[in-house]
């Protein structure tokens, strides 16, 4: 299959470069469609250049819009975490208002003191 050890090394380097290019390409395309400030025409133009002049376009995109990529990625990660937390809270049981109402009932009954009520209230709102 390979004539020498160096053919194997070269094949490995080429495969690595191709996989790295595909990862960068998918990150760029994901970032393009995540960016709400960029019009559809600009997105189409970027994709068109990515198809016909891929390496140069990828380098230009990373240089010109790289900082924005990290910001949009962090925003998307924060939004997904918030959605996950909201979903977990919705299926986990009582809402914050219910927990505070229960704590108020315990305070009114004299089961807990004001400090414990405030601690339970802060925990419910966190």
For 52-95, give the DSSP string: HSHHHHHHHHHHHHHHHHHHHHHHHHHHHHHHHHHHHHHHHS--
User: Do 88 and 49 belong together in one domain?
Assistant: yes
Torsion angle of C-alpha atoms 13, 15, 17, 23, degrees rounded to 10: -150
- Domain residues for the domain of 29 are 5-93
In the predicted model, is pLDDT for residue 2 greater than 70? no
| Tally of domains within the chain | 2
User: Do 62 and 21 belong together in one domain?
Assistant: yes
User: Do 89 and 109 belong together in one domain?
Assistant: no
C-alpha–C-alpha distance, residues 111 and 25, integer Å: 61
Which residue would you say has higher pLDDT here, 94 or 88? 88
User: Do 69 and 54 belong together in one domain?
Assistant: yes
User: Do 60 and 81 belong together in one domain?
Assistant: yes
The proportion of the chain whose per-residue pLDDT surpasses 90, expressed as a percent, equals: 43
**69 touches 31 (CB < 8 A):** yes
DSSP state of 3: S
In the predicted model, is pLDDT for residue 89 greater than 80? no
In the predicted model, is pLDDT for residue 122 greater than 80? yes
Which H or E element spans position 1?
A: none
User: Do 22 and 84 belong together in one domain?
Assistant: yes
How confident is the model at residue 1, as a pLDDT?
Answer: 64
DSSP state of 39: -
C-alpha–C-alpha distance, residues 49 and 46, integer Å: 5
| Span between the terminal Cα atoms of the chain, in Å | 62
Residue 57 CB neighbour total at 10 angstroms: 19
Which residue would you say has higher pLDDT here, 94 or 54? 54
User: Do 25 and 76 belong together in one domain?
Assistant: yes
User: Do 27 and 81 belong together in one domain?
Assistant: yes
Residue 106: pLDDT band with limits 50, 70, 90: confident
């Amino acid at each position: 299959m390979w004539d020498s050890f160096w053919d194997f090394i070269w094949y490995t380097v080429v495969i690595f470069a191709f996989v790295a290019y595909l990862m960068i390409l998918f990150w760029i395309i994901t970032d393009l469609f995540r960016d709400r400030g960029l019009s559809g025409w600009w997105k189409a133009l970027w994709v068109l250049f990515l198809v016909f002049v891929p390496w140069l376009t990828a380098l230009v995109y990373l240089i010109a819009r790289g900082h924005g990529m990290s910001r949009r990625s962090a925003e998307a990660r924060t939004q997904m975490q918030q959605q996950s937390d909201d979903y977990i809270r919705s299926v986990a049981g009582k809402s914050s208002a219910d927990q505070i109402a229960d704590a108020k009932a315990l305070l009114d009954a004299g089961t807990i003191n004001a400090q414990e009520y405030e601690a339970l209230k802060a925990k419910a709102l966190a």
